[in-house]
Amino acid sequence: MRDWQRKTYLASVTDRYVKGQMDRRSFLRAAGKLGLSVGALGAGFGLSGRRPFFNLAPSAFAEGSLEPSPEMMKWLADVGKPFAGTTLRLATESTPPSNAIANSLKPFFEKASGIKIEIEVLPLEQVLQKLTLDVASQLGTYDLYYIDQSWAANFSQDVFDPREQIKDKPDLAYPDYNIDDFLPPLVDGIAKYKDRWVGVPYDIPIFIMQYRKDIYDELGLKAPETMDELLTNSQKITEAKGPQLYGTTGQMKSGHYSLECDWTCWLWGHGGQIFDTDRKFVGNNDAGIKAIEYWDKLKKTMPPGVDGWTWDGEGQSVSQGVAASMLSWGEFFPFFDDPKSGKISGLMEAAVPPKAITLISPDKTGFGEIPGVGHQGGSSLAVSKYSKNPDAAWVFMQWATAADTQALITVLGGGTGPTRTSVYDDPRVKANARVGAGTTRHLPVVRETISKYMGSEPDLPEWAEISSDTIPVALGQYFAGQYDSPKAAMDDIKTKVEAVLKS
């Protein structure tokens, strides 16, 4: 048996044991066949009940198997030689890939290349603040930029296009880098601004349908395929189980970016669009109004308090068994499977988002908006033009976004979505597709959603203000009952958005 097959088998056995489909003795026997003694499986058994052993995610791997490949280490050692002793800096949002690099993978890079890397992990809006100051002062404090998809327009001129870097620095190029491996929709939606690549796709949180299999089965429901089904399913659950359990949930905090994310999902799902080809706001057209009316009905099936939650409260409400489904960030799926974080480990299933009623094609929109129910919130990684060590930074960037590293990130970072095609098929990633913290069992759905259902926000420099203030503040007012009708609210948003665009 090859090593990864052995691991996949162990993972599935473990999964069955954890779900209670297998007794302890047959589990130990199966494990024994793989050459694992009880001791090797860790202390988990002695503490079972209180502390199931799969908490030590990802336990499907033996010590040392989750390390960069020898080829990668050798390349780093060769190419890094001239830069030994250099220190690189990166400011990034606290996301699974950045945390995996900062906490686990960084030492491998530093040891092999001799380049020191300092990673500053911050909440999203603080990253924007730091990058803006860096760009405005052209200080070159940060050698690498973490660029959220909504900022691509702002920073497109401040970073190197990775395709040019590959061409201009053949001696620094990692032979197996394969830039065509990045999923094309992500390149379009995240990294590209006009004709430039603003770095490469680094992270991809995306809306997928996540629901409680047990509740759906109990009530005889199936994963919603249309917007209507999502609503009726949620209504049935809330009727049957409320106020203990609600049909669905949301991230609807007034004045917060998350509210705008939810809005786009319903807007696009009803054939709406934010901007038309004349770059005018048209969220107040008929489709836009229908979306709000639908949202109103759906909100009645959500737990009270949803309008105070960002993605954190939304995720917690599912994880703690308050809501039975969410059409939201797929990044949360591994968290739901973590038995220490919540009460629903192993009970969630993932599906592609419900189909849009109609969908506007991207050529009918403005500012590069791509309508789609699977709202994406990805980010890219790029080398700053103001960096004093752009070559060393480029070496780091290739390493951090190479397929080998991304596979490790996916496994170590808790099942986050990869941005490269090949990583979805990586045996290490597949081996982790079992119930437990850091699972990757939702990734096939993520991959399908990216290729078929993904929606991307428009790219314009004013978007940061429109998406995190103008729209979510007005929508917050709407849900607090300060507008007479959806039409009045959306018309007002149009006026305000146009005022921002004008100034």
Partner 1 sequence: MTTSDLVRRRVVSDHPLPWLMPLIAILVVFTIFPLVYNIWLSFHEFVPRRRALEWVGGRNWAQLWADTRFWQSLTVTFIYFGIALAVELVLGMAIALLLDADEPGFGFLRGILTMTLVIPPAIAGMMYLLMEDPQFGVISYVLKAIGLLSPATPILATTQYALAGVLLAEIWQWTPFMVLILLAGLRALPSEPYEAAMIDGASPWQTFWRLTMPMMSKVIAIAVLIRGIDLFRVFDYVFVMTSGGPGTATYTLSLYAWQQTFSFVKWGYGATLSLVMLLIVLIIANVFIKVAKVRW
Partner 2 sequence: MPGSSLSRYLRIAAAWLVAGLFFFPIYYWTSVAFRDGRDIFSRPPKIFDFSPTLDNFQKVFGIHFGQGSLTVTPGGGNFYMAPRLWDSIVIGVGSTILAVAIATLAAYALSRIHFRARHSFVGWVLSTRMMPPVAVAIPMFFMYKTLGLLDTYLGMILIHALMNLPLAVLLMKSFFDDVPKEIDESAVVDGASRWLIFRRIVLPMARGGIAATAVLCFIFSWTEFLFALTLTQTQIKTVPVVSTTFVTSVGTAWGNMAALGAAAIVPAFIFVLAVQRHLVRGLTMGSLKQ
In angstroms, what is the minimal distance from the CB of 470 to partner 1?
10
SS3 state at 251: coil
Q: Near partner 1 by CB under 8 A, which window of 180-188, 196-204, 426-434, 478-486?
A: 478-486
> Please, which of residues 454-493 interact with partner 2 by CB under 8 A?
none
| Of positions 291, 464, 471, 493, contacts partner 1 by CB under 8 A | 464
Site membership for partner 2, residue 322 (CB under 8 A): yes
Tokens for 50, please give them: 């209180």
Q: Could you tell which of partner 1, partner 2, none binds residue 121, using a CB distance below 5 to 8 A set by kind?
A: partner 2
| Of positions 38, 43, 240, 480, contacts partner 2 by CB under 8 A | 43
CA distance 206 to 296: 23
> Please, which of residues 423-462 interact with partner 1 by CB under 8 A?
461
Residue 234-263 contact track with partner 1, rule CB under 8 A, x = bound: ---------x---------xxxx-------
Cβ atoms of 326 and 311 closer than 8 Å? no
Q: Which residues, including other chains, have CB under 8 Å from residue 205's CB and lie 6 or more apart?
A: 95, 329, 330, 331, 376, 377, 378, 416, 417
Q: Residue 68 or residue 315: which is nearer to partner 2 going by CB?
A: 315
SS3 state at 278: coil
Site membership for partner 1, residue 150 (CB under 8 A): no
Site membership for partner 1, residue 308 (CB under 8 A): yes
- Pairing status of strand 454-455 against strand 374-375: parallel
Q: Could you tell which of partner 1, partner 2, none binds residue 41, using a CB distance below 5 to 8 A set by kind?
A: none
Q: What are the Cα distances from residue 257, in Å, to 151, 282, 311, 313, 463? A: 13, 19, 10, 14, 11
Site membership for partner 1, residue 154 (CB under 8 A): yes
Q: Is the peptide bond before 58 cis (omega within 30 degrees of 0)?
A: yes
> Please, which of residues 273-312 interact with partner 2 by CB under 8 A?
311-312
> Please, which of residues 79-138 interact with partner 1 by CB under 8 A?
125, 128-129, 132, 135-136, 138
CA distance 297 to 330: 24
Distance spanning both ends of the chain, measured CA to CA:
65
CB atoms inside a 10 Å sphere around CB 5: 11
| Angle (deg, nearest 10), helices 286-299 and 227-241 | 20
Q: Could you tell which of partner 2, partner 1, none binds residue 178, using a CB distance below 5 to 8 A set by kind?
A: none
Residue 423-452 contact track with partner 2, rule CB under 8 A, x = bound: --------------xx--------------
Q: Residue 165 or residue 319: which is nearer to partner 2 going by CB?
A: 319
The DSSP call for residue 170 is G
In angstroms, what is the minimal distance from the CB of 134 to partner 1?
10
Look at residues 134, 66, 65, 100 and name the one whose alpha carbon lies nearest to residue 331: 100
Cβ atoms of 174 and 398 closer than 8 Å? yes
Residue 85: left if φ>0, alpha if ψ -120 to 50, beta else—which one?
Answer: left
Q: Which residues bind partner 1 (CB under 8 A)?
A: 125, 128-129, 132, 135-136, 138, 154, 157-158, 243, 253-256, 303-305, 307-308, 313, 316-317, 320, 322, 461, 464-465, 468-469, 472-474, 476-477, 479-482
Residues engaged in binding partner 2 (CB under 8 A)? 42-43, 50, 56-59, 63, 66, 89, 91, 93-96, 99-100, 102-104, 118-124, 126, 129-130, 133, 137, 139, 141, 203, 205, 311-312, 315-316, 319-320, 322, 329, 331-332, 334-335, 338, 340-343, 377, 412-416, 437-438
